[in-house]
Amino acid sequence: DSGVTQTPKHLITATGQRVTLRCSPRSGDLSVYWYQQSLDQGLQFLIQYYNGEERAKGNILERFSAQQFPDLHSELNLSSLELGDSALYFCASSVGASGSMIDTQYFGPGTRLTVL
């Protein structure tokens, strides 16, 4: 158990809908990262937050947004969903003393999103 929790574990929704995925980092970790893993696109880094501020952006679509709250949990919002958004979404956390992305990341179990 990495100490990172993600909810829900599974999510099934329809095209055009909006969903929110939640991630709670390990106690004391300041950085949260979001990743998408699909058969088509492989593993992609989406975005990193450090202590409430966006720190790095990867291949995140404009339909997707994220935020990190004062209690350091993070939410990934996916809107206007398309079939191709079906994937596993992982979050990870790290101590991130400087938000520099060089600390060991601890991954959550993932949320499996299915868009029908």
Q: Which amino acid is at 20?
A: T
Question: What span, in angstroms and rounded, lies between the C-alpha atoms of 68 and 51?
Answer: 7
Phi, psi of 86 (to 5 degrees): -60, 125
Binding residue (CB under 8 A) for other proteins from 17, 58, 63, 116:
58
How far from 106 is each of 9, 20, 45, CA to CA, in Å? 17, 21, 14
Binding residue (CB under 8 A) for other proteins from 29, 33, 64, 81:
33
Binding flag, residue 45, other proteins (CB under 8 A): yes
**Per-residue tokens: 46:** 């989406």
CB-wise, 79 or 106, nearer to other proteins?
Answer: 106
Binding flag, residue 61, other proteins (CB under 8 A): no
Per-residue binding string, other proteins, 1-20, x by CB under 8 A, is -x------------------
State the nearest-atom distance from the C-beta of 53 to other proteins, in Å. Answer: 16
Binding residue (CB under 8 A) for other proteins from 5, 20, 38, 44:
44
Question: What span, in angstroms and rounded, lies between the C-alpha atoms of 80 and 22?
Answer: 18
How far from 114 is each of 71, 95, 98, CA to CA, in Å? 29, 31, 35
Binding flag, residue 89, other proteins (CB under 8 A): no
Contact residues for other proteins (CB under 8 A)? 2, 33, 35, 42-45, 56-58, 90, 92, 101-110
